[in-house]
Amino acid sequence: MLFLLVLHGELWQLFEIFYNVVSTVLAGAVFGDHCSPISDTTILSSMASSCNHIAHVKTQLPYALTVGATALFIGSLISAFGVNQLLLFVIGTIILYFIIYFFGKKTIF
């Protein structure tokens, strides 16, 4: 099978699909670990910051959902149509920047 893909010059498509699948699985694992209230990293970070555990989960959830939704839309759905991944990375970074710019709170240093 691999020989036929190389013969027709379609081997790059196989690797592109493989990279998309692996990155989607890893992104889902990181997202689940970050959003889960019973995750060891979530428990340790709430203990290290001396805050209520549930309050920590509730404050981290909007950030994780914003990045997760952007990654799902840009990284998985649009990437499935064969758009260049480097271009999608730049577009995703710009989208996240504008989300922070328009919806983020200004801080005083």
Structure tokens at 67: 């990045």
How many domains in the chain? Answer: 1
Per residue in 27-74, pLDDT (tens digit) is 889 888 888 888 888 888 888 988 888 888 888 898 899 998 998 888
Per residue in 87-96, pLDDT (tens digit) is 888 999 999 9
Is residue 28 packed enough to be buried (19+ CB in 10 Å), middle (13-18) or exposed (0-12)?
A: middle
Asked, for residue 59, whether it belongs to a domain, the answer is yes
The reported pTM is 0.72
Confidence of residue 9 (pLDDT cuts 50, 70, 90): low
Distances in Å between the alpha carbon of 74 and those of 23, 67, 69? 12, 10, 8
Asked, for residue 12, whether it belongs to a domain, the answer is no
* Residue-level pLDDT at 12: 60
Return the number of other C-beta atoms located less than 10 Å from residue 87's C-beta.
Answer: 12
- Kindly compute the dihedral angle of the four CA atoms of residues 81, 84, 89, 94, in this order, to the nearest 10 degrees: -80
| Residue 91: domain span | 24-103
* Residue-level pLDDT at 90: 92
Asked, for residue 8, whether it belongs to a domain, the answer is no
